[in-house]
Amino acid sequence: MRGLTRAYLLRRLGMYVLTVWLGSTIIFIVPRLVPGDPVAAMIGRMSQSAGRVENSAEIINAWRARFGLDAPVPIQYVNYLRNAITLDLGYSLAHFPATVRDMVAQAVPWTIGLLAVATVISFIAGNLIGALMAWAPTPRWAKRLLPLSLTFTSIPYFMLAILLVYVFGFGLRLFPISGGYGRGLTLGWNLPYILSVMQHAILPALSIVIASMGYWALGMRGMMITNAGEDYIILARAKGLSPARLFLRYAVRNAVLPQVTALALTLGSIVGGATLVEYLFAYPGMGYLLYQAIVSNDYSLIQGIVFILILATATAVLIIDLVYPFIDPRITYQQR
Amino acid sequence: MAVATVPETLLAPAGLNRWDSPWLNTKFVSGLVMVVAVLLMGLIGTRFWPERLALVASSPINLPPAWVSPNPQFGPPEAAHPLGTESNGRDILAVIITGAPRSFQVGLIAAGIGMLVGILLGFTAGFLGGWVDNVIRTVADSVITIPSLALLILVSSYVRVVDISSMALILAAFSWAGPTRLIRAQVLSLRERGYVRMARLSGISSFDIMFREMLPNMLPYLASSLAGNVAGAILAATSLEALGLGPTRIPTLGMTIFYAISSSAVLRGMWWWWGFPILILIVIFTGLFLMAIGLDEIANPRLRGASADA
């Protein structure tokens, strides 16, 4: 357990619990801040969109009993937290017999697959571009070309996604622009299905990669510049090490470490941005499910998805933070 | 600026002339120009272009921009609607003119409140230290990890947003954590500087040390962070609107994108419907982004020097 002290581990785990608790408490409070109780509010929305709701009194009573809304709020809260811990997220309002957990479970692999691949590609490409921009021996033509890749840095993912849909889906008709796989394919580990999944993932992944790459490049460039004058680089150069080794093992290796921390900090907004990309491409992940839940006023589904998004992001950040001391041996987390 | 023709050597005895001012950073100035241009378009535009054209059914539907050659699919282009109209009978030019200032308004209110809370909490944490610092830092770190858009979607799906200011307030609730973290770190690093120690030795009150000694020294950092946060708040607002969770009567840029998406304007080839709002938003985001980078370089000369030889 090099560098990973028990005190740090406990503190970090405590923060993880705090994050998930804060998020789920907000999810608990928000519906109760709205005038009336959440069930009445749901029925209100339903009747707003559907004209009128049959048997609304019975639905209200049934849901009250289901949610335990007759109980005092503190008891409701304890029950809610207990259910959240066991991932019992209740039933979907719009697709009644289906549980929120099942619906989310179907969507999660799509989102994790898309996000993991896109984030890894963007992280590697962005850091490489940034490192080359700040590296003195980089050829002049490359230094002119590389900043072009930053053009889209400040554009939100979903706006880039609209542009890509227009260019590749409407204009060139090169890639499919909606869904996660072609119709009439058997799901499973067969070649046509896997190819179709990859083909459908290209545009959504591309919009995330292009839009987020510049963020990494800029941070990396700053770190490379800060490290450029350090003694260990000068010594390494004086030793006559090959430029490639100098670049990768000495300069990049040290500069990339803070970028890992930055990854932990921005993961939340990456997840948020990807939600909208999925919605635009009707990609069968959490983001699209969330949009469908919003459209059909499926409040229990919205709450479930939001909870899972918070849980997943917090878990990913926890993992990054716990792995960090192993990739950066300088960090020891001693008590001050 | 009329003195620009005077030889530089006359103005600047020690190689320092007014054009060397760090505030004349190219990125900062070009970003500022972009932001001001969009703001002016909104402020002046409403004088020449009637705002009511942004309402539903105020114009003929589905007209392409005036310079586009007529297409049987859409109506003939009209000079009265230079940027075309959409399927609900809104004039795109009017939508942009009324929408852009609203986006800024949301962003500024939300980021401004977030920044004020951040200054308060950041100074408290950095200056007091101890358990106060621990609590503030831990909560801020937790809030940063939470994907705020997800919670914003939850909040605004219950509280259907009807106006700009309630949208801004909801966004503000999630935009204090970043500034708090940044300011706390700055306070910690400034606290041990000579001039702060000197001030403390002179018996100046903590309040004065914080706000009259340290705060002015952080201004470029704060301005850079504010520019970034305004962009972040506008992005969050636009994202919520693009999902249909925004004010519906007078369209904002994000709501226009939502209408365009839900009427599948992209696949119908009505590029002007979503293209112009996105173009304006891109100018806003790029402008704010350049301002943030420029201000960073103003605050941190090391980055500035490097940009010169890159």
CATH of the domain at B153: 1.10.3720.10
Q: Which residue in A30, A32, A119, A159 has the most chain B C-beta atoms within 10 A of its own C-beta, making it the best mutation to test that interface?
A: A159
Domain, as residue range, for B222: 39-60+82-303
- Structure token digits, residue A179: 């869904």
* Whole-number Å distance between alpha carbons of A160 and A149: 14
E strands in A9-166:
none
Confidence label for A38 from pLDDT (cuts 50, 70 and 90): low
Count of pairs with CB atoms under 8 A, one residue in A, one in B: 143
Tell whether B71 is covered by a domain.
no
Let me know: does A271 contact A316? Beta carbons within 8 Å: no
Of A145-154, B67-76, B228-237, B284-293, the least confident: B67-76
- Partners of A153 on chain B (C-beta within 8 Å) are 289
Output B256 or B11, whichever has higher pLDDT. Answer: B256
The three-state secondary structure class of A89 is coil
**Contact assignment for B302 to A279 by CB distance below 8 Å:** no
The residue-averaged pLDDT of B258-271 equals: 81
Let me know: does B248 contact B268? Beta carbons within 8 Å: no
Tell whether B168 is covered by a domain.
yes
Output B60 or B254, whichever has higher pLDDT. Answer: B254
Tell whether B13 is covered by a domain.
no
Tell whether B20 is covered by a domain.
no
Q: What is the pTM of this model?
A: 0.82
Q: Which residue in A150, A151, A154 has the most chain B C-beta atoms within 10 A of its own C-beta, making it the best mutation to test that interface?
A: A154
- How far away is chain B from the Cα of A189, in angstroms, using its nearest Cα? 32
pLDDT at A164 over 80: yes
Tell whether A76 is covered by a domain.
yes
Q: Which residues face B32 on adjacent strands?
A: none
Q: Within this chain, do residues A60 and A172 fall inside the same structural domain, yes or no?
A: no
Residue at A292: amino acid letter: Q
Smallest Cβ distance to A22: which of B142, B232, B238?
B142
- List Cβ neighbours of B72 (8 Å cut-off, separation of 6 or more): none
pLDDT on residue B180:
92
Tell whether B178 is covered by a domain.
yes
- Partners of B147 on chain A (C-beta within 8 Å) are 267-269, 271-272, 309-310, 313
Q: Within this chain, do residues A14 and A24 fall inside the same structural domain, yes or no?
A: yes
Tell whether A114 is covered by a domain.
yes
Q: Within this chain, do residues A208 and A281 fall inside the same structural domain, yes or no?
A: yes
Q: Within this chain, do residues A89 and A159 fall inside the same structural domain, yes or no?
A: no
Confidence label for B117 from pLDDT (cuts 50, 70 and 90): very high
- Partners of A271 on chain B (C-beta within 8 Å) are 147, 149-150
**Contact assignment for A19 to B269 by CB distance below 8 Å:** no
* pLDDT tens column, A201-211: 888 898 899 88
**Average predicted confidence (pLDDT) for chain B:** 80
Q: Within this chain, do residues A316 and A279 fall inside the same structural domain, yes or no?
A: no
Nearest Cα residue in chain B from A293: B157
- List, as ranges, residues 258-297 from A with C-beta within 8 Å of B: 264-265, 267-269, 271-273, 275-276, 279-280, 290-291, 294-295, 297
Distance of alpha carbon B6 from its chain centroid, rounded? Answer: 38
pLDDT at B228 over 70: yes
* Whole-number Å distance between alpha carbons of B227 and A119: 25
The three-state secondary structure class of A91 is strand
* Whole-number Å distance between alpha carbons of B255 and B85: 15
- List Cβ neighbours of B15 (8 Å cut-off, separation of 6 or more): none
pLDDT on residue B308:
40
- Structure token digits, residue A279: 């919605």
**Contact assignment for B231 to A268 by CB distance below 8 Å:** no
pLDDT at B306 over 50: no
Tell whether B16 is covered by a domain.
no
The residue-averaged pLDDT of A58-86 equals: 76
**Contact assignment for A299 to B157 by CB distance below 8 Å:** yes
Q: Within this chain, do residues A217 and A283 fall inside the same structural domain, yes or no?
A: yes
The three-state secondary structure class of A326 is helix
The residue-averaged pLDDT of B156-169 equals: 78
- List Cβ neighbours of B68 (8 Å cut-off, separation of 6 or more): B77, B84, B272
Q: Within this chain, do residues A143 and A215 fall inside the same structural domain, yes or no?
A: yes
Total domains, chain A = 2
pLDDT at B303 over 70: no
Q: Which residue in A218, A296, A306, A311 has the most chain B C-beta atoms within 10 A of its own C-beta, making it the best mutation to test that interface?
A: A306
pLDDT on residue B110:
92
pLDDT at B60 over 80: no
Total domains, chain B = 1
Tell whether A100 is covered by a domain.
no
Give the domain CATH number at A172.
Answer: 1.10.3720.10
Output A174 or A30, whichever has higher pLDDT. Answer: A30
* pLDDT tens column, A88-98: 877 777 776 77
pLDDT on residue A270:
86
Q: Within this chain, do residues A264 and A139 fall inside the same structural domain, yes or no?
A: yes
Q: Within this chain, do residues A7 and A74 fall inside the same structural domain, yes or no?
A: yes
Tell whether B87 is covered by a domain.
yes
- Partners of B244 on chain A (C-beta within 8 Å) are 294-295
Q: Within this chain, do residues A25 and A57 fall inside the same structural domain, yes or no?
A: yes
Q: Which residues face A238 on adjacent strands?
A: none
Q: Within this chain, do residues A125 and A34 fall inside the same structural domain, yes or no?
A: no
pLDDT on residue A336:
42
> Residue A205, CB half-sphere, CA atoms under 13 Å: how many?
23
Q: Which residues face A99 on adjacent strands?
A: A91
* Whole-number Å distance between alpha carbons of B95 and B101: 11
Among A115, A128, A55, CA closest to A277: A115
Domain, as residue range, for A50: 1-94+296-336
pLDDT on residue A3:
58
* Whole-number Å distance between alpha carbons of B99 and B87: 18
Smallest Cβ distance to A155: which of B147, B243, B285?
B285
Tell whether A55 is covered by a domain.
yes
pLDDT at B13 over 50: no
**Contact assignment for A15 to B245 by CB distance below 8 Å:** no
Let me know: does B118 contact B271? Beta carbons within 8 Å: no
Nearest Cα residue in chain B from A223: B303
Smallest Cβ distance to A30: which of B154, B243, B306?
B154
Tell whether A99 is covered by a domain.
no
pLDDT on residue A321:
85
Tell whether A102 is covered by a domain.
no
**Average predicted confidence (pLDDT) for chain A:** 81
pLDDT on residue A125:
92
